[in-house]
Amino acid sequence: MLFSNEYEQDIKPTDITSRLDFVRLIDQNNWKVGVEVGSFEGKFSEHLLENSSLDVLYSIAKWADRNGDSEVYPPMRSRMACRKRLRKYGKRSVMIQKESLSASWDFPNKHFDFIYIDAGHDSLSVLSDLGI
């Protein structure tokens, strides 16, 4: 068993077949405050807010050149797309434009029920997001 509560059957690791299934863990564990690191255009943040009972989701991204390719992924365009996508959630959605490690200092320990890291997908970026 991975987690359990009285409202839903236990979710086993094999039940999670994609990141879209993560919302089941949120509601099953009654997680209310979360963060997605690396929100880019906000598509996964939108999925989390739309399909869970989160009280608040912090969407953190630096919204700067993605792999140095600002012509393909203009930072302001992706930030504006994220804002447009998430504004319908009002106070349930908080966007923060910072590097992940810098943003981590803005919150006390144990503030979040979960932290979903979806930022740079290279090993150096992952280690940086983990603060290692």
Which tens digit of pLDDT belongs to each residue from 65-116?
Answer: 555 544 445 567 888 999 999 999 999 999 999 888 888 899 999 999 999 8
d(CA 15, CA 31): 19
Query: All domains of the chain, ordered by start, with CATH?
Result: 32-118 (3.40.50.150)
pLDDT value, residue 25 = 87
User: 22: helix, coil or strand?
Assistant: helix
Alpha-carbon distance of 65 to 72, in angstroms, equals 9
pLDDT, position 51: 95
DSSP 108: -
Alpha-carbon dihedral of residues 78, 79, 84, 87, nearest 10 degrees?
140
Across 1-80, where does the E strand assignment appear?
33-37, 56-61
Give the pLDDT confidence of 24-33 residue by residue, as tens digits.
889 888 999 9
pTM here is 0.77
As a whole number of angstroms, the distance between CA 79 and CA 130 comes to: 23
Q: What is the pLDDT of residue 67?
A: 54
Q: Mean pLDDT across the chain, nearest whole number?
A: 80
At residue 121, does pLDDT exceed 80?
no
**Rounded-to-integer distance, Cα 131 and Cα 16, Å:** 26
Residue-level pLDDT at 31: 95
Report yes or no: 47 and 25 within 8 Å, Cβ to Cβ. no
The edge-to-edge listing of strands for the beta sheet with 93-97 is 93-97, 56-61, 33-37, 114-117
